[in-house]
Amino acid sequence: MTATADPAAEPRAAHETDEELLARVLVPYKAHCKYLLSAVVTASDGLSSARCEFAIPESCYIDDTGHLNSVEVNIAYNQMMYYLVAKSVQEKLLTGFEDWTLDDFWRHQLPDILIARFASQFRRPVNPRSFAGEMEFRSVTRRAPGGADPFLHAQTVHRYWDAAGGRCDGEATLAFVNIG
């Protein structure tokens, strides 16, 4: 099973932020590392995306740099991705996850969702105190190379921006393992 984005496809209705789901998705994070404030999820042709709002009042590991940095981009991506997958499972939006329940997602969230490759490019500094981001699944494929245990391979893209024209974008490859 493979899904690929069709740019001409009409997206389905937007799923506004589910506060209860968002709070549960962020449970694994320390209180001062919960950057994701809201997320609107849409889907088309078996692929989903999220448009999000973030705030990082204070870096969790370094003195203030005055701009979003690569560690914070990765943490924001993780939170955005976890919420997007959870909401996609809940609403049956994403190819490859049709049989998943939210209980399946909670079981897999930390041990079985791996970032196989992550890249980001900073075009202009982004203000970490208030910024927006977007993530979209470009493809999801079930694989079992050489008869090994099956896993889901997903290609994603992400973008961040702020009100002053800051910009960062990138790509990430995900592997969902131990899916049976």
Name the residue among 92, 2, 78, 76 with its Cα closest to residue 41.
92
> How is residue 105 written in tokens?
């997602």
pTM to 2 decimals?
0.92
Per-residue pLDDT of the chain (180 residues; tens, 9 = 90+): 444 444 455 546 899 999 999 999 999 999 999 999 999 999 999 999 999 999 999 888 887 788 899 999 999 999 999 999 999 999 999 999 999 999 999 999 999 999 999 999 999 999 999 999 999 999 999 999 998 999 999 999 999 999 999 999 999 999 999 997
Largest Cα–Cα distance of the chain, in whole Å? 50
**Which residues on neighbouring strands pair with residue 170, listed in sequence order?**
120, 158
Q: What domains can you pick out in the chain, each with its CATH number?
A: 11-176 (3.10.129.30)
**Tokens for 177?**
């393992």
What whole-number distance in Å separates Cα of residue 57 and Cα of residue 168? 19
